Amino acid sequence: MHHVVIDCPEPVKLAGFYSELLGLPVTYRSETWVVVAENDTTSGVAFQLALDHQAPDWPDASKPQQFHLDVMVDDLDEAAARVLQIGARRLPGGAHIYADPAGHPFCLIPRPLWAPPVHPPS
C-alpha cells in the first residue's frame, strides 16, 4: 500500500488537522494533493481535492462513512480534548467517535497492551 487517499473540499486544511492528530508532518503539498507521512519516502495519508465532496452524516446510512480511521491513543480523555481543540467535533453513537473538519468519522481507541506507547516518555 502506498497512501490512504481521502477526498475532501480543502486538502491543505484537512491535512493540517491530521498532521496534528497523528503527530506526523506534511511531506508534500500542492493545491489539490497533500500528504501526511513519517517522511517524504514513506507511505501515509493523502488528501485529494474533491470539489463535489459530500460529507458523511454519521450515523445516517443514506450518507455513509466512506471510510474511518481508528486512532490509537494512550489517554482517551487527553486525546479527546486535543482533537476538539484542533477542529474535530463529537459525533453521536459512542464516547469517542468524532468527525474531522471535512466531516469524515474517526474513532479514538485505547492503546492495546501489545502496542508500544503512542507518545513514549521523553
Angle (nearest 5°) at CA 37 between 56 and 68: 20
Q: Are residues 98 and 107 in contact, defined by beta-carbon separation less than 8 angstroms? A: yes
pLDDT of residue 79: 94
CB atoms within 10 A of CB 110: 13
pLDDT of residue 111: 85
Q: How confident is the chain (122 residues) per 10-residue block, as mean pLDDT?
A: 86 96 95 94 92 86 80 92 96 89 90 78 54
Q: What is the pLDDT of residue 120?
A: 59
Is this prediction's pTM over 0.85? Answer: no
Q: How far apart are CA 83 and CA 74, in angstroms?
A: 14
Domains of the chain: residue spans and CATH: 3-110 (3.10.180.10)
